Structure 1
Amino acid sequence: MPLLTPDLREQLLANGRQSDRDHVPVIKFFNPVGIGTWLATELDADNDTCFGLTDLGCPELGTFSLEELATLELPFGMHIERDVFFTGAFPISAYAEAAHETGNIPAAIRILSNAARARRGEGT
């Protein structure tokens, strides 16, 4: 499966043209056999450099390369995957704050997903 669909690429590029905003993450990438989670909010015009929240053991905001993610060779012939079920619900700053408090992006996503469901009145 490709890391980006044309629609996701366009949404990331549109956010990249408005880089002065606190965007909601568009996409989540993850390592299916180990640590590594990336939430992307923006894509530069070079079609490679993403901005977002990365977690390789310590969550931090910054840039990462789509090409590097796509070419990583993982054990068992696996590759970095796109989480097709992820939907961002809050600005990236909220994910960064929650990830720093919990220690990782997956825990932050669980907390914020529960908060989004509660906000919509769905309960937890």
Structure 2
Amino acid sequence: MSKLIPNTLLEAIPNLYETENVKDPICHIKLFTPDSNWTWYIIEISKEDKNLCFGYVIGHESELGYFNLDELESVRSVLGLPVERDLHFTPTLLSVVKRGN
């Protein structure tokens, strides 16, 4: 169970590989570090472990990839702040998220 994302939101995210043939998938959740430029957009999550995610990551580079919620929960930024969920983010097409960068 993730501290970052309530179960009600996790249930709405597609399972891993469910959107692999979708040209423009939806980013369902936005996670970020409040004092740096790192951001994770969750497109899919493993329904089995509710930990392994696939999504769009913005950091040193911007790329699609896999990441673990457990690892993100342990991350602390330069000022010691934890990763947070953007409470105001609404599910958005990946193409729109990419344009915003």
Q: Deviations over 1:1-60 (max 9, x none)?
A: x31011111112xx1162335331110001101120111011012221101100112110
The unaligned stretches of length 5 or more in structure 1 are 99-106, 109-124
Question: How far is 1:73 from its partner?
Answer: 2.0
Instruction: Tell me: CA distance 1:58–1:21, structure 2 relative to 1, closer, same or farther (3 Å).
Output: same
Instruction: Tell me: CA distance 1:31–1:95, structure 2 relative to 1, closer, same or farther (3 Å).
Output: same
Q: Identity of paired residues, percent? A: 28
- Whether the 8 Å contact between 1:16 and 1:43 is mirrored in structure 2 is yes
Find the aligned partners of 2:39 and 2:65 in 1 and give their Cα distance.
Answer: 13
1:25-44 paired onto structure 2 within 5 Å: 25-44=27-46
1:38-53 paired onto structure 2 within 5 Å: 38-44=40-46, 45-53=48-56
Normalised by the length of structure 1, the TM-score is 0.67
- Whether the 8 Å contact between 1:59 and 1:96 is mirrored in structure 2 is no
Give 1 or 2: higher strand fraction: 2
Q: Deviations over 1:58-113 (max 9, x none)?
A: 110111111110011223331000000011232x2x14653xxxxxxxx34xxxxx
Instruction: Tell me: CA distance 1:65–1:79, structure 2 relative to 1, closer, same or farther (3 Å).
Output: same
Pick the structure with greater CA Rg: 1
The alignment partner of 1:41 has SS state of strand
1:65 aligns with 2:71: no
Q: CA RMSD in A?
A: 1.9
Q: Say how many residue pairs are matched.
A: 95
- Displaced runs of 4+ in structure 1, greater than 4 A? none
Give 1 or 2: higher helix fraction: 1
Find the aligned partners of 2:19 and 2:75 in 1 and give their Cα distance.
Answer: 27
Normalised by the length of structure 2, the TM-score is 0.81
Correspondence for 1:81: 84
Find the aligned partners of 1:33 and 1:58 in 2 and give their Cα distance.
Answer: 17
